[in-house]
Copies of this chain bind each other. A is one copy, B any other.
Amino acid sequence: MSPQPRPGADAGAPERAAAFAAPAIEPAARLPWAARWRDYRRAALGDDLVAAMIVTILLVPQSLAYALLAGLPPVVGVMASLLPIVAYAAFGSSTTLAVGPVAVLSMMTAQAIVPAAQAHGVGVHLAAMVLAVEIAGVFVLALLLRLDVFAALLSAPVLHGFVTGASLVIALGQLPALLGVSARGSTLTELLESLAQAPGMAPHAATAVVGVGALTLLWLIRRYGLRLLRGLGLPARAAQLLARMAPMFVVVLAIAAVTALPQAVQGVALAGRVSLGEGLAFTPLWEAPAGLWLALAGPAALLGLVAYVESLAVAEALGARRGERVLPRRELMGLAAANAAAGLSGAMPVTGGFARSIVNFDAGARTRVAGVWTALFLGVTILLLGELLGALPKAVLAATIVVAVLSLVDLQPFREAWRWSRAEFGLMVLVTALTVLAGVKAALLVGVLASMALLMQRTARPHWAEVGRLPGTEVFRNVRRFAVETLPQVLAVRVDESLLFTNSRWLAETLENQAAARPGLKHLVLMMSGVNDIDFSGLDSLHQLDRTLGARGVRLHLSEVKGPLRDRLAASGVLDDLSGRVFTTQGDAWEALARLGSGASASG
């Protein structure tokens, strides 16, 4: 067979090319500009419209609830589900990701904007808008400076621990609203302190009835709804989607109850009329003082990281089910556009949400245009029913949040981590506990630092082996595993790792120890076939090793230095003062040094 074209195997290049050529590879993800409308109508419109309707039903209570979670008026959550979705559809890469306000990001938004707004004497709404624009800025910076590599900072144990802890603490944080108690706090510690100081700790009876009632109902539907609907003869997919609509059902029920029995629910906090007009009457961004922008820059970086990684994880998980690739840099563009749109249209920070995206996926959305329909339907719904939603008790929204976030708590990763690595299991539990007890920032900081420490520990003690020659060949192997021959006065060592600051000092010490233990040694050859890179610390250690060996009368040679590294060493001249030589192959080193010594000695 003739050689088939082989896409570039150079690391980096294919990914970059793919990122910008994406639409050419995945027609389904294309934007249907005028000419494509007919194709779109034929292939995907129907599916997209159905999915959009179903997502809208889920989105109404969620957008209101997450706005409250962020400490904002409910309508801000609606605004965050209109233009941002359209912006993501235009720039993102996932066909199923549903963008909007999500639980974890909303909690972090509250923590960022409440103190900042207070300190600069502006409303929280304006602060939320500034934050969203800054998050968009963070994404643009990340795109330009290729900072998406930092997404790796949130390693799997940190991310699972963080999501679990955040879900638990969000659920706990809803208890006051659910019971009509006035405690507040973003960690368990703060909540307990707030409870202890609260003047009236007794729950408000009517609120508690509404809240706990809604929670129980949602729980029952989640637990038995699917089975019931299937029992009624609905097909599996329809039953699943209908069961997911439970929040809207409970919302309608609650509004009906409040409207029918106004006396019974006296004193129950209501969401208040949701009016798009009010949502649009926001303070423009340019009235935000410079100090506010400055104060929110740090939080924006943190929220940006979390928003990106969470969204990417959701998009990738759903993409995997369809065999669709997610393009990380396109995702960055999509989220940048969505948050810029959020900030400019008076909304709050947004990202891809887990529950909502799954519904979108299950409902059969085919393209990102489904998001545009969702925004349209949501806008119309709020326009028509905004007045009615005013009668919705906040406790019901709190109940929907509790059920939504508790569904994110998944113990499977904990079990797997326990079986795979006790250290990483410990990290996961630590991050969970810190998120609940000490807050999001501390948990992520400790988690990232601990991940780095584990990484350092891994690269800090690279594998190395003394090598000898397989008799009659040019092949050099570990003397402890193969019957090889070695030269007297020569120690040849292969290092299987780059020489970096994490290991270079240790490696130099190790080699010094080896040399010290062999009286009569004259040459140490470092076989560099496994060394991809040398950093400045590695270079320093090579110099140091050369000096130490020199004082013992041992010369340091290198062999099999990889091409690019060899070029750099030659160009920079930094190893010109090495006491020994740089050999192309280990075989060359063997022959040159054997000529100086007394021949080979068998070993094994």
Q: What is A's interface to B at a CB cutoff of 8 Å?
A: 1, 3-4, 6-7, 9, 11-12, 14-15, 18, 25, 149-153, 155-157, 316-317, 319-326, 328, 416-417, 419-421, 424, 428, 451-466, 478-480, 488, 496, 498, 500-503, 505-506, 509-510, 512-514, 516-518, 532-533, 535-537, 539-540, 544, 547-552, 568, 572-574, 601-604
Contacts of A488 in B (CB 8 A): 1
Known contacts: A509-B328, A572-B419. The answer to whether A544 contacts B320 by CB under 8 A is yes
Q: Are B501 and A451 in contact (CB under 8 A)?
A: yes
**Assembly CA distance A535 to B325 (angstroms):** 23
Known contacts: A1-B602, A536-B421. The answer to whether A321 contacts B501 by CB under 8 A is no
Q: Are A509 and B552 in contact (CB under 8 A)?
A: no
**SS of A interface (majority):** helix
Contacts of A496 in B (CB 8 A): 532
**Assembly CA distance A582 to B572 (angstroms):** 44
A547 partner, pick from B9, B320, B478, beta carbons under 8 A: B320
Known contacts: A9-B480, A320-B544, A602-B1. The answer to whether A532 contacts B155 by CB under 8 A is no
Contacts of A479 in B (CB 8 A): 6, 9
Known contacts: A419-B572, A455-B500. The answer to whether A465 contacts B548 by CB under 8 A is no
A505 partner, pick from B152, B421, B509, B517, beta carbons under 8 A: B152
* A326 (CB) vs chain B CBs: closest residue: B509
**Assembly CA distance A320 to B545 (angstroms):** 8
**Assembly CA distance A245 to B178 (angstroms):** 78
**Assembly CA distance A326 to B506 (angstroms):** 11
Q: Are A551 and B15 in contact (CB under 8 A)?
A: no
A460 partner, pick from B149, B505, B510, B572, beta carbons under 8 A: B149
Contacts of A420 in B (CB 8 A): 536, 539, 568, 572, 574
Q: Are B514 and A14 in contact (CB under 8 A)?
A: yes
Contacts of A465 in B (CB 8 A): 9
Q: Are B510 and A544 in contact (CB under 8 A)?
A: no
**Assembly CA distance A207 to B421 (angstroms):** 65
A513 partner, pick from B6, B14, B602, beta carbons under 8 A: B14
Query: Copies per complex?
Result: 2
Contacts of A514 in B (CB 8 A): 7, 14
Q: Are B532 and A463 in contact (CB under 8 A)?
A: yes
**Assembly CA distance A488 to B4 (angstroms):** 10
Q: Are A424 and B535 in contact (CB under 8 A)?
A: yes
- 28 residue pairs of the A-B complex, CB under 8 angstroms, read A1-B602, A3-B602, A6-B480, A7-B514, A9-B464, A9-B479, A11-B464, A14-B510, A15-B513, A25-B517, A149-B460, A152-B505, A321-B551, A323-B551, A325-B509, A416-B539, A416-B574, A417-B536, A419-B572, A420-B572, A428-B536, A451-B501, A452-B456, A454-B535, A455-B455, A458-B500, A463-B532, A496-B532
A533 partner, pick from B152, B321, B458, B509, beta carbons under 8 A: B458
**Assembly CA distance A319 to B516 (angstroms):** 13
**Assembly CA distance A63 to B108 (angstroms):** 51
**Assembly CA distance A455 to B478 (angstroms):** 28
Contacts of A537 in B (CB 8 A): 155-157
A150, A506, A573: most-surrounded residue (chain B CB, <10 A): A506
A18, A505, A552, A604: most-surrounded residue (chain B CB, <10 A): A505
Known contacts: A464-B9, A536-B420. The answer to whether A513 contacts B455 by CB under 8 A is no
Q: Are B11 and A419 in contact (CB under 8 A)?
A: no
**Assembly CA distance A544 to B540 (angstroms):** 40
Known contacts: A420-B536, A572-B419. The answer to whether A152 contacts B460 by CB under 8 A is yes
| Chain B nearest CB, measured from A361 CB (Å) | 13
Q: Are A3 and B604 in contact (CB under 8 A)?
A: yes
| Chain B nearest CB, measured from A482 CB (Å) | 12
